[in-house]
A and B are shown apart, each in its own frame.
Chain A
């Protein structure tokens, strides 16, 4: 599959306004999403995993499979493992940190629950998302890259990932809102880091910290607007053209609010060096 993208930077003061504009444009309410993202790095030399030869797949599928195999094994790439979480999965804020409720004495009826959340790491669904480095030398004004995603087992995925030749590097959280319009997924999001006080984890966290204590990667708290269209067959020029036309249409519509543009190719490089 191919992914066509446009990006824009949204300063934090414009965030609320843009949310409303997007809600009006897409005629839907924003779908809030919080995702854990784990970064894995391939460490095995390519060529160790050989694809089955002589299978009776049809040509189309085998071509696809070969491509994915090549992507996964040919070069060395960082891949992302994405797990959707909800805000309630994060630890609730400590009552002391919230002076308002203390003053009003609201908490007297029920004892404060400290540091517990319903988050169950074992039930956490995961999805593997592979993104290639964007294609070079395309004359089109959109970023386009090969992508593939696959569902992973629930819970602890480190063993499976290790077995596939990936080692855990780090993790972060992405929070944002999703809009859908005309096959375009509009994702207004920002990257959050875990509180810096904690020691470096060697594996994914089993408990999530307080959401409010997470610090944005961009210090000003600004957001990234990402508009993407997925195309099943990247070699089909016509669908690729349709997809980029749609993105350009969206760019025209949002022209007065934000400037959607192509991203720098090397910034989206996922190759492991």
Chain B
């Protein structure tokens, strides 16, 4: 078989015998219009006018008519025309019926039963069946010229028909060829998409069209259904991603962190800032990203509304979250290729990191929520009830906020500890180091085989965050612990400080337990440290001569007695009732202050009105040096002061 076998579709046109037909045509014109000699301008003009009159008249008439008639006339005209149409239809129907009757009558000669069905009742009455017959009559022979003409005409007809058929076929073939190339291109692109791993399927509502699924199966139904776009074919066969009525631009959730007056903006996480949407793959990716971002914003708004009690406000397209005193977070959905949204270049690095971190974390948490939905969906469902199941808000903002809140609390506590221990250290005391185990709940690794590692990791962020500070005190066998627990996912909302003390020297000391306010925590710990300092002083035997005052050379043992440890008061009793000496210790975040004075009292234990400082005694006081200059060269340590005061009563 020949692989390509072409058949000419157009009929061969015979070369005409007489190539020069001009004389014939001239003769024809002479015959039809007269001699060329008679042609002049007037004749031609009149001819042209005549033709124009013939062509132009009807259209002018139409114009006239439409402008002249008013509505009633038009209505009349309409009725008339309709009557005409009806009449015409009736007439044609009648004629058709006549023709049918005629044919039926003619046929009834040969097939009476069949013909009878199509005969009208009237005809059946009037004419008996089979009363009309036909015969083939040989026509009289035609003259020779007529047959020749006929054959030429029919040949012309046939040639013309062949030509038009050939044209149609050739058009069809070229059209098909175009179709084939564009179809091939279309299917190749579809295949390319499929090979990249996208799910290509039939559209549920439009069975003939193909669609690509790029959305997230576990998203809220509104967004899940939007994750399907049809793949349409352009004229040239290239793919068009038809998302329906959804606007095509890509959008993203922008996170802005406002620290005081500075505003830092998170970068576009999808990275598709460029308008490079050349390939279909990129367009699909962009569509996927923007459907994800829109869902993210939708869920954020939903969650923000439920967090109104935490001061979160939502406007039409903006969520404002006060994270801490200084920090405010703004979330909004913006067009990714909006030039006016370029980030401030002078924003601080740290804030940018925070904004980016926040942006990433809410996205991670949404992906996690999707996984949770999947897990929920594939569990054995509860029995059907009439109650509608409420879908809880996802935890997107709450874990992030909890982290920020926790972090600010931890930082506050750290700075407080560094301050107060700095005060103690600068006073010459040597407080033992304290240890901080921040975010301890995140460090515990609980990997169960039933939960994938990724989910186990993210799940930790949803639970309460805990940080523990532990430390020993100056008094032996004493310790304190502060646990900060932040939980925004469930009650109790907010941050709680769990403060516990263990101070052996003060028996009636109870741990304050759970505290909600920073001030309370500060007060509690300051008080504990005060007690610690007091008991440390009280425990010290003062017998050495290693004192500043050279005039004192006493070698007997002395001891400060902590009479009111909770008030920071110590007493050095003396045989002389006038010479009881009191030492008052006060501790605050910024300084440690001691003052000593004589009290005139029988035993020196009384307070208030009974406690009268001796008239002639100047109170001596000592203050811790500023922590910044922690050198003790120019200032004696607290203990030196304590010892010195112990021997001052002489």
Interface residues of A (CB under 8 A from B): 1, 27-28, 31, 178, 180, 183, 185, 229-233, 236, 238-239, 242-243
B381 engages A236 (CB within 8 Å): no
Complex CA–CA separation, A178 to B374 (angstroms):
15
Question: Which of B217, B377, B378, B385 lies in contact with A232, CB distance below 8 A?
Answer: B385
Determine whether the beta carbon of A231 is less than 8 Å from that of B383.
yes
Q: A27-B217, A28-B374 are in contact. Are A183 and B386 (CB under 8 A)?
A: no
Contact A236 B386 (CB under 8 A): yes
B507, CB-defined interface residue at 8 Å: no
| B384 x A229 contact (CB < 8 A) | yes
A185: chain B residues within 8 A (beta carbon): 380-381
Tally chain B residues at the interface, Cβ within 8 Å.
Answer: 12
Q: List B residues 205-233 near A (Cβ within 8 Å).
A: 217
Q: B384 touching A232 by the CB < 8 A rule?
A: yes
Say yes or no for B379: interface residue by CB 8 A criterion.
yes
A67 to B378, CA, bound (A): 31
State how many angstroms separate the Cβ of A146 from the closest Cβ of chain B: 12
Cβ contact within 8 Å between B384 and A243 = yes
**Beta-carbon contact of A239 and B374 below 8 Å:** no
From B217, B374, B378, B381, give the contact of A183 (CB < 8 A).
B381
CB neighbours (8 Å) of B377 from chain A are 28, 180
A178-B380, A180-B377, A230-B382 known; 10 new pairs, CB 8 Å cut-off, are A27-B217, A180-B378, A180-B379, A180-B381, A183-B384, A185-B380, A230-B384, A231-B384, A233-B386, A239-B385
Contact sample, A vs B, 13 pairs, CB 8 Å cutoff: A178-B380, A183-B381, A185-B380, A185-B381, A229-B384, A230-B382, A230-B383, A232-B384, A233-B385, A236-B386, A238-B386, A239-B384, A239-B385
Q: How many Å from the CB of A186 to the closest CB on chain B?
A: 11
Closest B residue by C-beta to A4: B384
Contact of A239 among B217, B378, B381, B386 (CB under 8 A): B386
- Residues of chain A lying within 8 A (CB to CB) of residue B383: 1, 230-232
Distance to closest chain B CB from A241 (angstroms): 11
**How far is the CB of A229 from the nearest CB of chain B, in Å?**
6
Q: Is the interface of A mostly helix, strand, loop or mixed?
A: mixed
- Give bound CA distance, A30 to B125, whole Å: 79
Question: What are the residues of chain A within 8 A of B217 when measuring CB–CB?
Answer: 27
By the criterion CB–CB under 8 Å, are B380 and A242 in contact?
no
Q: In whole Å, how far is A269's beta carbon from the nearest beta carbon of chain B? A: 23
Q: From residue B525, how far is it (CB to closest CB) to chain A in Å?
A: 49
B380 cross-chain contacts in A, Cβ below 8 A = 178, 180, 185
Contact of A31 among B374, B378, B386 (CB under 8 A): B378
Chain A residue with minimal CB distance to B386?
A: A239
Complex contacts, B385 vs chain A, CB 8 Å:
231-233, 239
Within the complex, the shortest CB–CB distance from B482 to chain A, in Å, comes to 42
Expressed in whole angstroms, the minimum distance between the Cβ of B600 and any Cβ of chain A is: 74
Q: How far is the CA of A28 from the CA of B377 in the complex (A)?
A: 9
List residues 177-223 of chain B with CB under 8 A from any CB of chain A: 217
A180 to B377, CA, bound (A): 7
Bound CA–CA A239/B385 (angstroms): 7
Residue of B nearest to A185 (CB): B380
| Residue of A27, A180, A242 touching B384 (CB-CB under 8 A) | A242
User: How far, in angstroms, from A242 to B378 measured CA to CA in the complex?
Assistant: 20
- The CA-CA distance from A115 to B380 in the complex, in Å, is 34
Q: Which residues of A contact B374 (CB under 8 A)?
A: 28
- CA–CA, A232 and B385, complex, Å: 6
- Residue among B379, B380, B382, B384 having the largest count of chain A Cβ atoms under 10 Å: B384
10 closest residue pairs by CB, A with B: A230-B383, A232-B383, A232-B385, A183-B381, A28-B378, A231-B384, A239-B384, A180-B378, A27-B217, A1-B383
| CB-CB nearest in chain B for A30 | B378
- Interface residues in B475-530 by Cβ distance below 8 A to A read none
Residue of A nearest to B374 (CB): A28
Q: Using Cβ atoms and an 8 Å threshold, which residues of chain B touch A178?
A: 380
Cβ of A236: which chain B residues have Cβ within 8 Å of it?
Answer: 386
- Please report the C-alpha to C-alpha distance between residue A245 and residue B217 in the assembled complex, in whole angstroms: 23
Nearest CB on B from A176, distance (A): 14
Chain A residues near B379: list those with CB within 8 A. 180
Closest A-chain residue to B385, C-beta based?
Answer: A232
Q: Shortest beta-carbon distance, B337 to chain A, in Å?
A: 33
Which residues of chain B from 374 to 411 have any CB-CB distance to chain A below 8 Å in the complex? 374, 377-386
Alpha-carbon distance A263/B321, docked complex (angstroms) = 58
Contacts of A183 in B (CB 8 A): 381, 384
Across-interface contacts of B386 in A (CB, < 8 A): 233, 236, 238-239
Nearest-CB distance from B390 to chain A (Å)? 16
Cα distance, A242 to B385, chains bound together (Å): 10
Nearest CB of A to B271, in Å: 29
CB distance from A253 to the nearest CB of B (A): 11
- Which chain A positions have C-beta within 8 A of B378? 28, 31, 180
CB distance from A131 to the nearest CB of B (A): 15
- Select from chain A the residue with minimum beta-carbon distance to B387: A232
Closest A-chain residue to B379, C-beta based?
A: A180
- Min Cβ gap B452→A in Å is 13
Q: Nearest Cβ in chain A — how far from B382, in angstroms?
A: 8
Q: Smallest CB–CB gap between A26 and chain B, Å?
A: 8
When chains A and B are docked, how far (Å) is the Cα of A52 from the Cα of B382? 28
Bound complex: CA of A183 vs CA of B380, how far in Å?
8
Q: Return A233 CB to nearest CB of chain B, in Å.
A: 7
Q: Using Cβ atoms and an 8 Å threshold, which residues of chain B touch A28?
A: 374, 377-378
